[in-house]
Structure 1
């Protein structure tokens, strides 16, 4: 996860070990630095280790210098925020590039990178617990390890929003620093709705690294399925390929985000929703009209307190995977069964 403290931890280790190595280099933010050219990164690495300005004209020259001139050197190298296994190989090469006494530290958001290179030890950095979070936030907000009198409850409320993410704790702590307790209420409400831009930008990198299918699943969870049984959601994802959102490509509707109990939805409202795959009906809501060619792609229907009178024609839910009818008083004679039993693989 972005902002969890990988770079900060790597810097702390690097600073602690630096005096044990005459030759060392910390290459920060390789994901972004790579855009400026690989030979620039190679030059930085070589210059740091040899402690002199070495002209590196291209990638081949850079790798040759590292593999030939640094063979017997004991080096400490940190490769920070690596997002591609080939970049690790290009910068650290084989184990015979450096002395066996050397140490290469890699930080990455993608654990899969370690499968492509030989590593001796992996460490999975976790979020901070409540006690650690409180200390870190307090250091930035109050310049002390705990909140002063009168700020205890407010501080715990802010800390709970961060989810133990060090980046959030630092940014939010600085944001609240020097503010009176009377100002905290409105600021907390805003943070709950919209995180700080710095946090959004850092976390977005993790989202952009996902492939299209993973992004769709992420958005499904964030927008619709928080609190749902993950096993049920997986049935729908397995039965569906993933495509972007759009007017005709809307794939999920959850009236609970803005509807009310007992609403009535007419067929005209669904005519253009030909890609709809998730529909959550509020308690007692009704569907009315002719739904021919409207919900043919529907995979998941959740209809709370479904009415006993079924007023829908041509509802051909042949692709249905999940059917939830909680708190409904329907029986085996319910007219709606004919619409859903066209699908042989749904979970009731």
Structure 2
């Protein structure tokens, strides 16, 4: 293996508890039939440690291989960038060269020829569709003798016909769970005697789930015994011992602004994988609002969010579901009064019956959920406070008939607007883009964005990818902060407004 890969992949086992047995088991499964290309699936519930175990196996074994790649967050990255992007990333990493792959079927012959003589180690993390596996790694005979593939998934069905063995990750035993809790609550393995009984009670409550132990440890770290007792009492009074109850304790410890940020992330942004800098701008209450930076740091300290090495904000799905439940409880069984919409049933009913209200702050759905609806032109009039809107799809024909009578209104408050396959020739004449930060109308039927001039000072990204009927762009001279303009595959757009070339912050013009 190259020195480059040796430097890149190093073990991070310090502070990991209770994973030696699963690591040993998985390594033994991989080494069965050591001269064959083999695949092992790691299966279990969210928060149980699948990714952590896969990472550690990967780091410990990678030096034995000619090429290695850990492809993280396959489910979300595929949704965000598409499966071809992931396929190119995987094989570019393995071969250490910049590859372009334009098909879901198989591999270019020269790539297969190179791989056939290589012993590779691949981890595909968080796979939720067996089709992803067929596209990414195909038949195991793509790879040289001794190659190994590790796949993590929450869905056993995804793995069943695609791997040689499935390893189910179980909960930690009591001793390991106590060690893990101590490491997070006291930042050491030593436990002060007066906290021992309290710690045992907390570990019993957590039921050996690593994520729950970490969250409780962070929550109680540095707190006195009285607060520990109070939290234990609070745990007992909750209706059930579900993970939601534990996660809610971290939420309760936030101030009002931090709670608002958390719910925006849980119900809208966590699955968009945006960079921190964009999140800071999108969630500001005003131009001078600098509290978002502190709020995000607070959420990170509470283990409610994570920030990746490439500065992307993301959230564990168990924590996200806790956020969903909090919002559900605010509605008093009236979905129209929800502040944030993500549930397909709720969204379908609200849009079908035109029951939106100004309480709605965000709405995010796959277009397949609403593609059979015929929306009224005034569908968004009652949602005047809507700030974040995302109608997305992988099918360029979804949602083309949902506005048969056109659209009269979009809220002025909108900051994030993604509407893939937008079916009309332009945005409504009444629409004001002054608050927009990100505008994504990929694969739209637009001929022009809007008519007349707009204040575009806040605009950072405009994505019109694949809008094959687009004939002209508006004047962007007021878009002084624009960083990205994507007009690829806009086949009828033969020229662009000269104002674009006067904008000095544009980083990507494609």
**Equivalent residue in structure 2 for 1:112, among 129, 153, 157:** 157
**Unpaired runs of at least 5, structure 1:** 208-243, 246-348
Distance 1:189 1:56 in 2: 57
Shift of 1:206: 9.5
The corresponding residue for 1:53 is 98
Distance 1:113 1:61 in 2: 20
Shift of 1:121: 2.5
Shift of 1:84: 1.2
Q: What does the per-residue CA deviation read over 1:295-323, in whole Å, with 9 as the maximum and x for residues that have no partner?
A: xxxxxxxxxxxxxxxxxxxxxxxxxxxxx
| 3-state secondary structure, aligned to 2:149 | strand
Check if 1:179 corresponds to 2:179: no
Q: 1:91 to 1:206 in 2, by over 3 A?
A: farther
**Equivalent residue in structure 2 for 1:188, among 207, 232, 235:** 232
Conserved? CA contact 1:66–1:97, under 8 Å: no
The corresponding residue for 2:416 is none
| 3-state secondary structure, aligned to 1:147 | coil
Q: 1:74 to 1:59 in 2, by over 3 A?
A: same
Distance 1:62 1:49 in 2: 13
Structure showing greater relative contact order (alpha-carbon pairs closer than 8 Å, 6 or more residues apart):
1
- Superposition pairs for residues 305-316 of structure 1, below 5 Å? none
**Unpaired runs of at least 5, structure 2:** 1-44, 239-244, 249-303, 306-314, 323-344, 347-510
| 3-state secondary structure, aligned to 2:193 | coil
The corresponding residue for 2:117 is 72
Q: What does the per-residue CA deviation read over 1:161-212, in whole Å, with 9 as the maximum and x for residues that have no partner?
A: 21100111122212211112221122334455332164995237899xxxxx
| 3-state secondary structure, aligned to 1:127 | coil
The corresponding residue for 1:138 is 182
Q: 1:61 to 1:122 in 2, by over 3 A?
A: closer
| 3-state secondary structure, aligned to 2:223 | coil
Q: 1:56 to 1:137 in 2, by over 3 A?
A: same
The corresponding residue for 1:102 is 147
Shift of 1:55: 3.1
| 3-state secondary structure, aligned to 2:166 | coil
Distance 2:319 2:222 in 1: 29
Distance 2:317 2:203 in 1: 18
Q: What does the per-residue CA deviation read over 1:268-318, in whole Å, with 9 as the maximum and x for residues that have no partner?
A: xxxxxxxxxxxxxxxxxxxxxxxxxxxxxxxxxxxxxxxxxxxxxxxxxxx
| 3-state secondary structure, aligned to 1:107 | strand
Identify which range, 167-176 or 90-99, moves more after superposition: 167-176
The corresponding residue for 1:163 is 207
Conserved? CA contact 2:171–2:207, under 8 Å: yes
Q: 1:201 to 1:52 in 2, by over 3 A?
A: closer
The corresponding residue for 2:317 is 202
Q: What does the per-residue CA deviation read over 1:138-178, in whole Å, with 9 as the maximum and x for residues that have no partner?
A: 01111222421210111112112211001111222122111
| Equivalenced residues, count | 208
The corresponding residue for 2:70 is 26
Distance 1:173 1:108 in 2: 26
Conserved? CA contact 1:42–1:63, under 8 Å: no
Conserved? CA contact 2:160–2:166, under 8 Å: no
Distance 1:64 1:205 in 2: 42
Conserved? CA contact 1:43–1:55, under 8 Å: yes
Distance 2:151 2:48 in 1: 15
The corresponding residue for 2:467 is none
Distance 2:203 2:222 in 1: 17
| 3-state secondary structure, aligned to 2:133 | helix
